Chains A and B, each alone.
Chain A
Amino acid sequence: MKYRSELELVAVPLWNGKPLYQSYLIAKSDRDASRLSDLRGDIHAFSDPDSNSGYLVTVALVNENGFGRETFFKKTLFTYSHRNVIRAVASGLVQSGSVDGYVWEVMREIDPDLVARTKIVRKSEWFGFPPIATSKRFAQTDQIKALKRALLASSDTDAGRAMLDYLRLSGFAVADTSLFDLVSQKIESLRGVL
């Protein structure tokens, strides 16, 4: 979102038929926690400071609930990967984490033992799925157009379906930038805080 004015959408992945995903707050599966306030005093793992689902959503939520961003958690750390957030929570290194809902669900299929050691404390509202974008300068090039066509028609070919199956996506679609307005609002709400 930081470079929104310089970028142009190519396609948006469809997950479960929709170009949407959520952010999950997760904790150890054996822990008695069902809301944000239960996570007070935790060591909390974020995935990346530039991630919406792995950082921004949780910081905004803490802020919206009137908790001090610096004091709500005992300590926060970045693992620079959604998968690592799951690993950190599952191992007990941290007590909770913020993770991309799409990654958590896919990981549940790929590495069920790891994910089974975590549980969802809270699911966020739906956000526009992180899209494939290009620099506006290259948007009208043949390569980008070819890429866009290939993505949009990926469900029509074997290679495309194999790719979609691998990524656990149902396809790609053209979307309007308004799909990401909620993300923009979150960033806006945190202006001056972050």
Chain B
Amino acid sequence: MLTAYLAGFRATWTSVFSYVLFGTYIGIGALAHDFGFSVWWALASTILMWAGPAQVILISALGAGAGLIEAAIAVALSSVRLLPMVVALLPMLRRPDTRAWKLVLPAHFTAVSMWVEALRLLPRQPREHRIAFCNGLGTGYTVTAIAATLSGFHLAAKLPPLMSAALLFLTPVAFLMSTLRNSRMLIDRLALGFGLVLGPLFGYWQFGLDLMWSGIVGGTAAYLIHRFREALQ
């Protein structure tokens, strides 16, 4: 168990996501500082929320004077992705006798970086080691993000605006590259392509749950095309 946990932890050292997370969370730490939050609050948000885009939304919304409900809705809408990500990941970890509470921690650690690396690395791990491996991955990334949140908070005043912009840009670019790398099957590539088009289109029309709908419509279309192609072969 410990060996698997440490293997997961060590896998983050050589992962490109550690660098991306470091940059992203420097940006988030600096943002929290600029909007007048305390360093403890910034650290707690990294540990408890563990979702970069949602943290950016929460900090900017509260800083701009949004109410509690308004901020909660904005965060909930941006975090919809966590649900299907967890549903796709857990069946890889579970054995018939696994208790549900053991899956709560891997579910908490589920974020884009951890999810993408877990889907890539888990098949090489024996099933009985996978929960510990995921917890190791999650711990490694969280430690990196904590160090970066602290650094960003203290660097905030010294960061030029273009640097802050470049750090915010890390999230979409790194999400895209990592999703591309993991898209080996046609269904994944189609889902990626449909989502890229539908997300901003539905967002532009602003009917609230736009991310959820672009996911359901784009994902289902990709799945149906995949099924259709399989039926032909």
The answer to whether A and B interact is no
